[in-house]
């Protein structure tokens, strides 16, 4: 006789942000008809009015993506096993390949100075099964320390603290490093509540004329309603530079990589953004807190998924054993999207035609390129590849 | 024993929303395994917090609620997720979505897929996922025992 779990002992969990996926036919829920995204009025012109800086996207290496593969980096799909030495070697090789420097220290020193506060934007939405590889995170932190960045000046961050902690990005696993989020758990009158209003910057926002009401579960995670999506103070005030470290993942027929990791991970009231998703992804990244602070993108493709993303489904996880280093998030997304698409075709989950159709439908890369954030179609992407033993 | 008494008492007083917890195996299933933390209930509105954008598809098919429990034995852990859908067709639909291109079996539920990290199956209006994070024989056995227990509980509910 099995003992059932106590039904009275329940932790009811509120909801967080959403990302998009394609709706198959025969589904029960009717979705509201989307508006023509290009007819929606946004405040993107206010972002474009701010002059770019020397380090603004796409940084000093537009159109360059440095891929490093190490066949022995991971053992199967096991999320708990990555060879730390392999991760460090891959990161160093990627940085040298990207910058042309002869040693990794010099490569890192091109982007960061001692005394700067550096944020590492991870993607923990795949939980323990498919989130950032801790060995790679530690290698990034060690590289920063080697050039004089103090551990106390480093923040690992995401939009939601509970997802961040669930994926193992905790103070225990990262001593002396801040692990922080825009939405966080707090105690109020003896109850655990989600808070975040004190962590958004009311002076910096992406605005467009679509509103969405959220229910009691979602409101705390969305933080606010209305026509504005505020940027997290983490990005506007608490960091000087950002390293964007997305995980190699599909999101339905598209991908959730550099640009999506930044745009949805840095703003409040973001779920309504799905009604103009391609614009949301591209335009949010064009605002100065992201455009002028994200100096490096390192895609964690030690493991990745070609189906089931952005959540994690073990059956669709594979181990490319690769990382991609770049200053250009658009070119990086383009290169990694091709890899995921190739895998989907190989596994019979999509045809070449469907892949091309998906890229037309999800046109955020073209939009990002048009906003000057990187290279997609305007010229050839320089995809440098190297393999370690 | 105390746990069993508490469980029984809680079941008697369980609100309808939490009935789904009766499908979760309790402590000692498999032998030596337990639930160190309270299982979680994700109502329809809260699914995004668990699987983020993956929730969209479940909601479109017709999602009711999710029960989630983490079973542990020492350093080993297995996660059981029971998604209650609006009807059997919705559960079958989600299973089909999550098993595209993967070999099916009838070992659990109406149909299942068996992977060294994950077992998924559907039966009646439930879609079930049992996941581990290390490949090992012990974990595989634990996943299969938990999957069988949930499958049996769903069957029993229908009788």
Q: Which CATH architecture has domain A49-346+376-388?
A: 3-Layer(aba) Sandwich (3.40)
Q: Identify all chain A residues contacting B133, using CB atoms and an 8 Å cutoff.
A: 78-80, 128-129
Nearest to B21 among A7, A125, A313 (CB): A7
Complete DSSP assignment for A6-38: PSS--EE---------PPPTT-SPPPPPPP-GG
Say if CB A42 and CB A207 are below 8 A apart: yes
Say if CB B78 and CB B130 are below 8 A apart: yes
CB atoms within 10 A of CB A151: 13
CB pair distance less than 8 Å for B41 and A129: no
Q: Is the pLDDT of residue B42 over 60?
A: yes
Task: Kindly state the tokens that stand for A39.
Answer: 């007819």
pLDDT in tens, chain A (389 residues): 344 554 444 444 433 323 333 333 345 555 556 678 999 999 999 999 999 999 999 999 999 999 999 999 998 788 878 999 999 999 999 999 999 999 999 999 999 999 999 999 999 999 889 999 999 999 999 999 999 999 999 999 999 998 999 899 999 999 999 999 999 999 999 988 999 999 999 999 999 999 998 888 888 889 999 999 999 999 999 999 999 999 999 998 899 999 999 999 999 999 899 999 999 999 999 999 999 999 999 999 999 999 998 888 899 999 999 999 999 999 999 999 999 999 999 999 999 999 999 999 999 999 999 999 999 987 899 999 999 97
A260 to chain B: closest CA residue: B53
Question: Which three-class secondary structure state does DSSP give residue A296?
Answer: strand
Note whether ipTM > 0.95 here.
no
A322 φ, ψ to 5°? -130, 155
- The answer to whether B136 contacts chain A (CB < 8 Å) is no
Residue closest to A245 by CA, chosen among A158, A173, A142, A351: A158
B62 to chain A: closest CA residue: A28
d(CA A64, nearest CA chain B) in Å: 30
Residue A158: what pLDDT? Answer: 96
> What is the distance between the alpha carbons of residues B129 and B127, in angstroms, rounded to a whole number?
7
SS3 content of chain A, % helix, strand, coil (to 5): 35, 25, 45
Nearest to A28 among B29, B54, B86 (CB): B86
Tell me whether residue A41 is exposed, middle or buried, using C-beta atoms within 10 angstroms of its C-beta: 0 to 12, 13 to 18, 19 or more: exposed
- Residue A166: half-sphere exposure toward Cβ, Cα within 13 Å: 21
Tell me how far CA of residue A127 lies from CA of A24, A76, A160, A389, in angstroms: 25, 18, 12, 30
Q: Could you tell me which residues come within 8 angstroms of residue B56 by beta carbon, excluding any fewer than 6 positions away?
A: A18, A19, A20, A21, A23
β-pair type (A254-255, A228-232): unpaired
Looking at the domain that runs over B34-158, which CATH code has it been given?
3.40.1000.70
Q: Identify all chain A residues contacting B49, using CB atoms and an 8 Å cutoff.
A: 13-16, 160, 162-163, 217, 221
> What is the distance between the alpha carbons of residues A326 and A62, in angstroms, rounded to a whole number?
8
Q: Identify all chain B residues contacting A76, using CB atoms and an 8 Å cutoff.
A: 135
Q: Identify all chain B residues contacting A217, using CB atoms and an 8 Å cutoff.
A: 43, 45-46, 49
CB pair distance less than 8 Å for A5 and B57: no
CB pair distance less than 8 Å for A5 and B24: yes
Residue B152: what pLDDT? Answer: 97
- Over the stretch B80-119, which tens digit does the pLDDT of each residue have? 999 999 999 999 999 999 999 899 999 999 999 999 999 9
Q: Identify all chain A residues contacting B55, using CB atoms and an 8 Å cutoff.
A: 15, 18, 311
CB pair distance less than 8 Å for B6 and A6: yes
Q: Identify all chain A residues contacting B15, using CB atoms and an 8 Å cutoff.
A: 7
A23 to chain B: closest CA residue: B57
Q: Is the pLDDT of residue B7 over 60?
A: no
- The answer to whether B90 contacts chain A (CB < 8 Å) is yes
Residue A27: what pLDDT? Answer: 54
Residue closest to A18 by CA, chosen among A343, A347, A264: A264
Residue closest to A5 by CA, chosen among B23, B103, B111, B140: B23
Q: Identify all chain B residues contacting A313, using CB atoms and an 8 Å cutoff.
A: 98, 118, 120
CB pair distance less than 8 Å for B11 and A7: yes
- The answer to whether B19 contacts chain A (CB < 8 Å) is yes
β-pair type (A118-121, A154-160): parallel
Q: Is the pLDDT of residue B4 over 60?
A: no
Tell how far CA B99 is from the center of its chain. 16
> What is the distance between the alpha carbons of residues A56 and A59, in angstroms, rounded to a whole number?
5
B44 to chain A: closest CA residue: A15
d(CA A349, nearest CA chain B) in Å: 7
CB pair distance less than 8 Å for B45 and A216: yes
- The answer to whether B36 contacts chain A (CB < 8 Å) is no
- The answer to whether B34 contacts chain A (CB < 8 Å) is no
> What is the distance between the alpha carbons of residues B40 and A3, in angstroms, rounded to a whole number?
17
Q: Work out the widest C-alpha separation in chain A, in whole angstroms.
A: 70
Q: Is the pLDDT of residue B58 over 90?
A: yes
Task: Kindly state the tokens that stand for A275.
Answer: 């009604």
Can you name the residues that pair with A156 across neighbouring β-strands?
A120, A179
- The answer to whether B29 contacts chain A (CB < 8 Å) is yes
Residue closest to B3 by CA, chosen among B21, B20, B28, B23: B28
Question: Chain B interface, mutation test: which of A315, A319, A344, A345, most B Cβ atoms within 10 Å?
Answer: A315
Residue B16: what pLDDT? Answer: 61
β-pair type (A64-70, A254-255): unpaired
- Residue B151: half-sphere exposure toward Cβ, Cα within 13 Å: 20
- Over the stretch B12-24, which tens digit does the pLDDT of each residue have? 444 566 689 999 9
- The structural domains of chain B, with segments of one domain joined by +, span 34-158
B22 to chain A: closest CA residue: A4
A308 to chain B: closest CA residue: B98
What's the whole-model pTM score? Answer: 0.88
Residue closest to B147 by CA, chosen among B127, B125, B119: B119
Question: Which three-class secondary structure state does DSSP give residue B128?
Answer: strand
- Residue A183: half-sphere exposure toward Cβ, Cα within 13 Å: 29
Residue A217: what pLDDT? Answer: 80
C-alpha gyration radius of chain B: 15
d(CA A78, nearest CA chain B) in Å: 6
> What is the distance between the alpha carbons of residues A142 and A137, in angstroms, rounded to a whole number?
9
Residue A33: what pLDDT? Answer: 62
d(CA B141, nearest CA chain A) in Å: 17
Say if CB A9 and CB B26 are below 8 A apart: no
CB atoms within 10 A of CB A337: 20
């Amino acid at each position: 006789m099995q003992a059932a779990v106590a039904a009275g002992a329940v932790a009811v969990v509120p909801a967080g942000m959403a990302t998009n996926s394609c709706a198959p036919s025969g589904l029960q829920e009717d979705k509201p008809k989307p508006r023509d995204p290009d007819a929606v009025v946004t405040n993107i012109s206010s972002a474009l009015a701010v002059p770019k800086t020397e380090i603004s996207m796409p940084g000093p290496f537009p159109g360059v993506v440095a891929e490093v593969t190490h066949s022995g980096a991971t053992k199967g799909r096991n999320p708990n096993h990555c060879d730390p030495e392999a991760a460090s070697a891959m990161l160093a090789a990627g940085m040298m390949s990207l910058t042309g420097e002869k040693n990794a220290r010099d490569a890192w020193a091109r982007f960061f100075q001692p005394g700067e506060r550096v944020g590492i934007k991870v993607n923990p939405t795949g939980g323990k099964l498919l989130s950032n590889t801790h060995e790679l995170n530690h290698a990034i932190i060690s590289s920063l320390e080697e050039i004089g960045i103090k551990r106390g000046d480093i923040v690992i961050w995401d939009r939601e603290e509970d997802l961040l902690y669930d994926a193992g990005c905790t103070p225990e696993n990262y001593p002396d490093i801040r692990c922080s989020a825009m939405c966080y758990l707090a105690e109020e009158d003896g109850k655990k509540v989600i808070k975040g209003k004190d962590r958004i910057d009311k002076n910096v926002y992406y605005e467009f004329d679509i509103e969405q009401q959220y229910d009691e579960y979602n409101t705390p995670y969305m933080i606010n309603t209305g026509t504005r999506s505020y940027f997290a103070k983490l990005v506007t005030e608490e960091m000087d530079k950002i390293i964007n470290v997305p995980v190699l993942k599909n999101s339905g027929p598209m991908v959730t990589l550099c640009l999506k990791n930044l745009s949805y991970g840095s703003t409040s009231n973001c779920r309504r953004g799905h009604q103009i998703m391609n614009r949301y992804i591209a335009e949010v990244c064009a605002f100065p807190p992201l455009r002028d602070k994200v100096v490096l993108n390192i895609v964690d493709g030690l493991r990745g998924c070609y189906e089931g993303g952005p959540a994690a489904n073990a059956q669709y996880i594979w181990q490319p054993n690769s990382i991609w280093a770049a200053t250009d998030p658009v070119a990086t997304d383009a290169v990694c999207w091709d890899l995921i698409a190739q895998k989907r075709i190989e596994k019979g989950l999509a045809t070449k035609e469907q892949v091309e159709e998906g890229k037309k439908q999800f046109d955020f890369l073209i939009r990002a390129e048009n906003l000057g954030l990187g290279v997609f179609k305007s010229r050839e992407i320089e995809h440098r590849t190297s393999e370690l033993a | 024993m105390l746990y069993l008494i508490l469980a029984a008492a809680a079941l008697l007083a369980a609100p309808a929303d939490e009935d789904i917890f009766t499908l979760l195996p309790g402590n000692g299933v498999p032998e030596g395994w337990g639930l160190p933390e309270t299982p979680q209930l994700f109502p329809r509105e809260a699914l995004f917090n668990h699987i983020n954008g993956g929730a969209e598809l479940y909601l479109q098919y017709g999602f009711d609620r999710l029960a989630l429990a983490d079973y542990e034995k020492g350093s080993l852990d297995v996660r059981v997720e029971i998604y209650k859908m609006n009807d059997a067709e919705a559960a079958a639909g989600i299973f089909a979505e999550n098993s595209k291109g993967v070999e099916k079996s009838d070992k659990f539920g109406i149909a299942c897929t068996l992977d060294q990290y994950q077992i998924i199956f559907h039966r009646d209006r439930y879609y079930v996922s049992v996941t581990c994070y290390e490949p090992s024989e012990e974990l595989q056995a634990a996943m299969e025992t938990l999957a069988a227990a949930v499958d049996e509980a769903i069957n029993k509910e229908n009788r």
